[in-house]
């Protein structure tokens, strides 16, 4: 894979950094990747290849490219870090993920720290709100690394115009309350390979980290919320072993929140007005509301908030109350760790109705797993009988 044609431009009121991507092995058309921000943040764009080098290494490996060639310079610290990240991927995922040969010049200049700020990736989800509250509570506001900017990403999970408009307005209101400058960041980086498993296991973490590097003239440190806690760590795209390796001498990528379970994070923000009004967790990205309130993730989050002391009817979920019928309407398709954590506090609040519904959903999940396992055994048996 070859990266070339780095340029900055202005497109319909957005300041854009772009580069061309050409495959050498895979049969794929020439692609133009971009990261863009509203023109008022145009002086934040850093015209270097670092952003696109981070974004490309996982898809390049997946597409069986043997090298990543950059027709320009990359920060030497980042080049070393990408080598470490690729070594981790090979360790986790096997020889299929053998490290690419990386060919690029090594950039000697470093941006001055003065005038640049700390930023936080700001989806308004549990991880980002927890990290914002934790960091700002423990770091003096005058500290250079304290978050002053909130990066709101468009083009990754958010792609429907009305859903983008609603989520952006919500993030702006939350950022205003938190005293942060909201920076909308739009990119087509996921278009390199939109495979869901690749994104969640290998591509997503570097895909997010890349964006901060595109804004290196405005950002010196970017906080990225962890989406897993230490006891439950598995090979993952946003992993503490790899996330810091996407740092350069100009932009530090810092993962936050790995010390806390999901329930502990929700407990830390349950009484926070910003979370009660602006928390956005829905995977459906509805166009006419912030959260649908009915999908598994919405119901689970509402259970967690209720368990840890928030009011039942929250503005972020349309002000409706949560009932056992809402729980019975969902399907649990994961092991029950998230639900196990919230049963004791729900029992302390006297919500045996919700606990009974959770227990039934867990039993249904156990039945599904047994059926799935049995189906596999039946298929094997049929093959053996046919072979005989």
pLDDT in tens, 132-185: 999 999 999 888 889 999 999 999 988 888 999 999 999 999 999 999 999 999
**Model confidence at 351: pLDDT above 60:** yes
- Fold classified for 117-256: Rossmann fold (3.40.50)
Map residue 24 onto helix, strand or coil: coil
**Model confidence at 13: pLDDT above 80:** yes
**Model confidence at 47: pLDDT above 60:** yes
pLDDT of residue 120: 98
Find tokens 């649990």 and name the residue: 332
Backbone angles phi, psi at 154, to 5 degrees: -120, 135
Percent of the chain with pLDDT over 90: 82
Task: Tell me the per-residue pLDDT of 196-235, one tens digit each, with 9 for 90 and over.
Answer: 999 999 999 999 999 999 999 999 999 999 999 999 999 9
**Model confidence at 39: pLDDT above 90:** yes
Per-domain boundaries in the chain: 2-106, 117-256, 289-371
Task: Tell me the per-residue pLDDT of 265-306, one tens digit each, with 9 for 90 and over.
Answer: 999 999 999 999 999 999 888 878 999 999 999 999 999 999
d(CA 69, CA 271): 50
pLDDT of residue 218: 98
**Model confidence at 19: pLDDT above 80:** yes
* Beta-bridge partner residues of 232: none
pTM given for the model: 0.92
Q: Report DSSP state, residue 251.
A: -
Spatial contact of 272 and 133, defined as CB atoms under 8 Å apart: yes
Q: Closest by alpha carbon to 80, among 117, 106, 116?
A: 106
pLDDT of residue 11: 97
pLDDT of residue 385: 59
**Model confidence at 334: pLDDT above 80:** no
pLDDT of residue 388: 45
């Amino acid at each position: 894979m070859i990266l070339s044609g780095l340029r900055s431009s202005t497109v319909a009121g957005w300041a854009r950094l772009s580069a061309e991507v050409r495959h050498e092995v895979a049969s794929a058309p020439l692609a133009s990747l971009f990261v863009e921000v509203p023109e008022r943040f145009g002086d934040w764009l850093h015209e270097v290849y670092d952003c696109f080098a981070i974004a490309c290494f996982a898809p390049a490996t997946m597409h069986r490219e043997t090298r990543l060639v950059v027709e320009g310079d990359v920060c030497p610290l980042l080049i070393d870090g990408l080598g470490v990240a690729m070594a981790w991927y090979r360790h986790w995922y096997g020889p299929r993920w053998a490290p690419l040969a990386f060919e690029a010049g090594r950039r000697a200049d470093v941006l001055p720290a003065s005038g640049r700020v700390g930023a936080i990736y700001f989806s308004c989800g549990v991880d980002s709100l927890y990290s914002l509250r934790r960091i700002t509570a423990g770091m003096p506001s005058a500290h250079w690394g304290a978050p002053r900017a909130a990066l709101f990403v468009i083009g990754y999970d958010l792609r429907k115009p009305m859903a983008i408009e609603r989520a952006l307005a919500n993030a702006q209101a939350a950022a205003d309350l938190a005293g942060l400058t909201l920076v909308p960041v739009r990119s087509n980086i996921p278009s390199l390979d939109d495979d869901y498993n690749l994104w969640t296991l290998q591509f997503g973490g570097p895909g997010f980290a890349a964006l901060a590097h595109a804004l290196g003239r405005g950002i010196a440190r970017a906080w990225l919320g962890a989406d897993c806690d230490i006891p439950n760590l598995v090979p993952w795209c946003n992993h503490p072993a790899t996330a810091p390796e996407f740092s350069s001498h100009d932009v530090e990528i810092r993962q936050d929140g790995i010390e806390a379970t999901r329930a502990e994070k929700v407990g830390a923000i349950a009484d926070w007005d910003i979370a009660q009004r602006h928390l956005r967790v829905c995977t459906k990205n509805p166009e006419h509301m912030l959260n649908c309130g009915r999908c598994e993730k919405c119901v689970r989050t509402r259970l967690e908030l209720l368990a840890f002391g928030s009011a039942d009817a929250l503005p972020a979920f349309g002000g409706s109350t949560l009932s056992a019928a809402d729980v019975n309407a969902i399907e649990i398709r994961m092991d029950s760790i998230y639900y196990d954590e919230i049963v004791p506090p729900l029992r302390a609040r006297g919500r045996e109705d919700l606990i009974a519904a959770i227990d039934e959903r867990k039993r249904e999940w156990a039945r599904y797993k047994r059926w799935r396992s049995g189906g596999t055994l039946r298929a094997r048996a049929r093959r053996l009988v046919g072979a005989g």
